[in-house]
Amino acid sequence: MSHVVPVTEAEGPGRRFAVWIQGCSIRCRGCFNPHMWAKSGGRPAEALALVDEADRSDVEGITLLGGEPFEQAEGLAELAEAAQVRGLSVMTFTGYLREDLEARAARGDDAVRRLLGATDLLVDGPYDDALPDLTRPWVGSTNQRFHFLTPRYAHLRDRLGTCNDRLEVRVTAEGQVSVNGWATSDDLDTLLAGLGSRRRPPRSHNSRDGADPV
Protein backbone atom coordinates (compact mmCIF):
# COMPACT_ATOMS: atom_id res chain seq x y z
CA MET A 1 0.00 0.00 0.00
CA SER A 2 1.16 3.54 -0.69
CA HIS A 3 -1.06 5.50 1.67
CA VAL A 4 -4.63 6.21 2.72
CA VAL A 5 -6.83 9.28 3.03
CA PRO A 6 -9.30 8.43 5.80
CA VAL A 7 -12.04 10.76 4.55
CA THR A 8 -12.32 12.19 1.05
CA GLU A 9 -15.19 13.43 -1.08
CA ALA A 10 -13.09 13.49 -4.25
CA GLU A 11 -12.59 9.81 -5.03
CA GLY A 12 -16.06 8.49 -5.72
CA PRO A 13 -19.63 8.91 -4.45
CA GLY A 14 -20.06 10.44 -1.01
CA ARG A 15 -17.53 10.38 1.80
CA ARG A 16 -14.97 7.66 1.22
CA PHE A 17 -11.92 6.00 2.75
CA ALA A 18 -9.37 5.90 -0.07
CA VAL A 19 -6.52 3.39 -0.29
CA TRP A 20 -3.72 3.98 -2.81
CA ILE A 21 -1.98 0.80 -3.85
CA GLN A 22 1.80 0.71 -4.37
CA GLY A 23 2.81 -1.01 -7.60
CA CYS A 24 1.58 -0.90 -11.21
CA SER A 25 3.06 -2.63 -14.25
CA ILE A 26 0.74 -0.97 -16.78
CA ARG A 27 2.75 2.26 -17.04
CA CYS A 28 0.38 4.48 -18.99
CA ARG A 29 1.91 7.36 -20.89
CA GLY A 30 1.19 10.49 -18.89
CA CYS A 31 0.51 8.68 -15.61
CA PHE A 32 0.58 11.30 -12.87
CA ASN A 33 1.89 8.88 -10.27
CA PRO A 34 4.94 7.04 -11.63
CA HIS A 35 6.26 6.91 -8.05
CA MET A 36 3.53 4.32 -7.46
CA TRP A 37 4.73 2.03 -10.26
CA ALA A 38 7.41 0.22 -8.23
CA LYS A 39 6.25 -2.65 -6.09
CA SER A 40 8.75 -1.57 -3.44
CA GLY A 41 8.45 1.64 -1.51
CA GLY A 42 5.01 1.10 -0.05
CA ARG A 43 4.20 -0.20 3.39
CA PRO A 44 2.51 -3.44 4.38
CA ALA A 45 -1.07 -3.13 5.55
CA GLU A 46 -3.45 -5.64 7.05
CA ALA A 47 -6.75 -5.78 5.16
CA LEU A 48 -9.04 -6.11 8.16
CA ALA A 49 -7.21 -3.34 10.03
CA LEU A 50 -7.90 -1.01 7.10
CA VAL A 51 -11.58 -1.94 7.17
CA ASP A 52 -11.65 -1.22 10.92
CA GLU A 53 -10.10 2.19 10.22
CA ALA A 54 -12.63 2.88 7.48
CA ASP A 55 -15.44 1.88 9.82
CA ARG A 56 -14.25 4.45 12.35
CA SER A 57 -14.02 7.16 9.68
CA ASP A 58 -17.76 7.67 9.22
CA VAL A 59 -17.68 7.03 5.46
CA GLU A 60 -20.10 5.30 3.12
CA GLY A 61 -17.45 3.30 1.36
CA ILE A 62 -13.88 2.45 0.42
CA THR A 63 -12.16 3.40 -2.82
CA LEU A 64 -9.23 1.31 -4.09
CA LEU A 65 -6.93 3.09 -6.52
CA GLY A 66 -3.35 3.29 -7.34
CA GLY A 67 -1.13 1.90 -8.44
CA GLU A 68 -3.02 -1.15 -9.68
CA PRO A 69 -5.45 -2.90 -7.31
CA PHE A 70 -5.76 -6.03 -9.48
CA GLU A 71 -2.03 -6.68 -9.15
CA GLN A 72 -2.67 -7.24 -5.42
CA ALA A 73 -6.08 -8.77 -5.84
CA GLU A 74 -5.89 -11.38 -3.10
CA GLY A 75 -5.39 -9.00 -0.19
CA LEU A 76 -7.74 -6.42 -1.63
CA ALA A 77 -10.45 -9.03 -2.21
CA GLU A 78 -10.29 -9.82 1.51
CA LEU A 79 -10.52 -6.10 2.27
CA ALA A 80 -13.41 -5.49 -0.15
CA GLU A 81 -15.39 -8.50 1.04
CA ALA A 82 -15.01 -7.44 4.68
CA ALA A 83 -16.01 -3.88 3.81
CA GLN A 84 -19.21 -5.02 2.12
CA VAL A 85 -20.08 -7.25 5.09
CA ARG A 86 -19.98 -4.09 7.22
CA GLY A 87 -22.22 -2.23 4.79
CA LEU A 88 -19.47 -0.16 3.20
CA SER A 89 -19.52 0.22 -0.56
CA VAL A 90 -16.46 -0.57 -2.68
CA MET A 91 -15.28 1.40 -5.69
CA THR A 92 -12.24 0.05 -7.55
CA PHE A 93 -10.18 1.78 -10.23
CA THR A 94 -8.14 -0.36 -12.61
CA GLY A 95 -5.97 0.23 -15.64
CA TYR A 96 -7.01 -3.18 -17.00
CA LEU A 97 -10.17 -3.76 -19.02
CA ARG A 98 -13.14 -5.44 -17.36
CA GLU A 99 -13.30 -8.04 -20.14
CA ASP A 100 -9.69 -9.05 -19.54
CA LEU A 101 -10.23 -9.27 -15.80
CA GLU A 102 -13.34 -11.41 -16.29
CA ALA A 103 -11.38 -13.67 -18.65
CA ARG A 104 -8.70 -14.09 -15.99
CA ALA A 105 -11.40 -14.92 -13.45
CA ALA A 106 -12.96 -17.45 -15.83
CA ARG A 107 -9.55 -19.09 -16.28
CA GLY A 108 -9.39 -19.69 -12.53
CA ASP A 109 -7.83 -16.54 -11.06
CA ASP A 110 -9.83 -16.66 -7.87
CA ALA A 111 -8.41 -13.47 -6.39
CA VAL A 112 -9.49 -11.45 -9.42
CA ARG A 113 -12.92 -13.13 -9.35
CA ARG A 114 -13.35 -12.25 -5.67
CA LEU A 115 -12.24 -8.63 -6.05
CA LEU A 116 -14.59 -8.14 -9.00
CA GLY A 117 -17.33 -9.81 -6.99
CA ALA A 118 -16.81 -7.48 -4.04
CA THR A 119 -16.71 -4.28 -6.11
CA ASP A 120 -19.87 -2.18 -6.43
CA LEU A 121 -18.50 0.37 -8.88
CA LEU A 122 -15.61 -0.43 -11.20
CA VAL A 123 -13.77 2.12 -13.31
CA ASP A 124 -11.61 0.42 -15.93
CA GLY A 125 -9.12 1.24 -18.65
CA PRO A 126 -5.66 2.80 -18.80
CA TYR A 127 -5.20 6.55 -18.52
CA ASP A 128 -4.74 8.20 -21.92
CA ASP A 129 -3.38 11.72 -21.69
CA ALA A 130 -4.51 12.41 -25.26
CA LEU A 131 -8.15 11.98 -24.19
CA PRO A 132 -8.70 14.21 -21.16
CA ASP A 133 -12.15 13.83 -19.61
CA LEU A 134 -13.50 17.19 -18.50
CA THR A 135 -17.11 16.16 -17.93
CA ARG A 136 -17.38 12.97 -15.88
CA PRO A 137 -16.32 12.90 -12.25
CA TRP A 138 -13.36 10.99 -10.79
CA VAL A 139 -11.81 9.74 -14.08
CA GLY A 140 -8.94 11.22 -16.05
CA SER A 141 -9.59 10.20 -19.67
CA THR A 142 -12.64 9.59 -21.84
CA ASN A 143 -11.71 5.97 -22.64
CA GLN A 144 -12.20 4.96 -19.01
CA ARG A 145 -15.53 3.28 -18.31
CA PHE A 146 -17.88 3.04 -15.33
CA HIS A 147 -19.31 -0.41 -14.59
CA PHE A 148 -22.12 -0.63 -12.04
CA LEU A 149 -21.50 -4.19 -10.90
CA THR A 150 -24.15 -4.13 -8.14
CA PRO A 151 -27.30 -2.02 -7.61
CA ARG A 152 -25.51 0.11 -4.96
CA TYR A 153 -24.72 3.00 -7.30
CA ALA A 154 -26.98 2.12 -10.23
CA HIS A 155 -28.90 5.37 -9.64
CA LEU A 156 -25.79 7.25 -10.82
CA ARG A 157 -25.64 5.47 -14.18
CA ASP A 158 -27.38 8.29 -16.06
CA ARG A 159 -26.46 11.04 -13.62
CA LEU A 160 -22.67 11.04 -13.64
CA GLY A 161 -22.74 14.44 -15.30
CA THR A 162 -24.41 15.87 -12.22
CA CYS A 163 -21.60 14.70 -9.91
CA ASN A 164 -18.92 17.34 -9.59
CA ASP A 165 -15.21 16.72 -9.71
CA ARG A 166 -13.45 17.94 -6.62
CA LEU A 167 -9.89 18.75 -5.73
CA GLU A 168 -8.90 18.46 -2.10
CA VAL A 169 -5.82 20.22 -0.78
CA ARG A 170 -4.38 19.42 2.64
CA VAL A 171 -1.62 21.40 4.30
CA THR A 172 0.11 19.98 7.37
CA ALA A 173 1.51 22.06 10.21
CA GLU A 174 4.95 21.36 8.71
CA GLY A 175 3.91 22.93 5.41
CA GLN A 176 3.49 19.69 3.46
CA VAL A 177 0.90 20.14 0.72
CA SER A 178 -0.99 17.14 -0.61
CA VAL A 179 -3.75 17.06 -3.18
CA ASN A 180 -6.19 14.45 -4.34
CA GLY A 181 -9.14 14.53 -6.66
CA TRP A 182 -9.17 16.14 -10.04
CA ALA A 183 -8.44 19.48 -11.67
CA THR A 184 -6.84 20.38 -14.96
CA SER A 185 -3.06 20.69 -14.82
CA ASP A 186 -3.30 24.43 -15.46
CA ASP A 187 -5.80 24.94 -12.64
CA LEU A 188 -3.67 22.85 -10.31
CA ASP A 189 -0.53 24.80 -11.18
CA THR A 190 -2.34 28.07 -10.51
CA LEU A 191 -3.63 26.82 -7.18
CA LEU A 192 -0.27 25.50 -6.03
CA ALA A 193 1.52 28.65 -7.14
CA GLY A 194 -0.89 30.54 -4.91
CA LEU A 195 0.09 28.28 -2.02
CA GLY A 196 3.78 28.96 -2.70
CA SER A 197 4.53 25.44 -3.90
CA ARG A 198 7.57 25.19 -6.15
CA ARG A 199 6.42 22.28 -8.27
CA ARG A 200 3.30 20.31 -9.09
CA PRO A 201 2.77 17.23 -6.93
CA PRO A 202 2.41 14.03 -8.95
CA ARG A 203 -1.09 12.67 -9.48
CA SER A 204 -2.53 9.80 -11.45
CA HIS A 205 -5.54 9.04 -13.57
CA ASN A 206 -7.16 7.33 -10.71
CA SER A 207 -5.35 8.51 -7.66
CA ARG A 208 -4.40 12.01 -8.66
CA ASP A 209 -2.63 12.50 -5.40
CA GLY A 210 0.73 13.75 -4.31
CA ALA A 211 2.61 15.74 -1.75
CA ASP A 212 4.99 18.60 -2.07
CA PRO A 213 6.80 20.57 0.62
CA VAL A 214 6.03 24.24 0.28
Burial class (CB in 10 A: 0-12, 13-18, 19+), 187: exposed
Q: Which stretch binds ligand SF4 (CB under 6 A): 4-12, 60-68, 100-108, 129-137?
A: 60-68
Number of residues that bind ligand SF4 (CB under 6 A): 16
Binding status of residue 97 toward ligand SF4 by CB under 6 A:
no
Give the CB-nearest residue to ligand SF4: 95
Q: Alpha-carbon distance 152 to 87, whole Å? A: 11
Q: Which stretch binds ligand SF4 (CB under 6 A): 19-27, 77-85, 145-153, 155-163?
A: 19-27
In degrees, rounded to 5, the angle at the alpha carbon of residue 49 between the alpha carbons of residues 19 and 71 is 45
Q: Output 36 or 64, the one with its CB closest to ligand SF4.
A: 36
Give per-residue burial for 20-58: e unless 16+ CB within 10 Å, then b: bbbbbebebebbbbeebbeeeebeebebeebbebbbebe
From the list 28-36, 47-55, 98-106, 142-150, the region that binds ligand SF4 by CB under 6 A is 28-36
Q: Determine which residue in the list 12, 66, 137, 202 makes contact with ligand SF4, applying CB under 6 A.
A: 66
| HSE-up of residue 67 (Cα within 13 Å, Cβ side) | 28
Binding site for ligand SF4 (CB under 6 A): 24, 26-28, 31, 33, 36, 66-68, 95, 126-127, 204-206
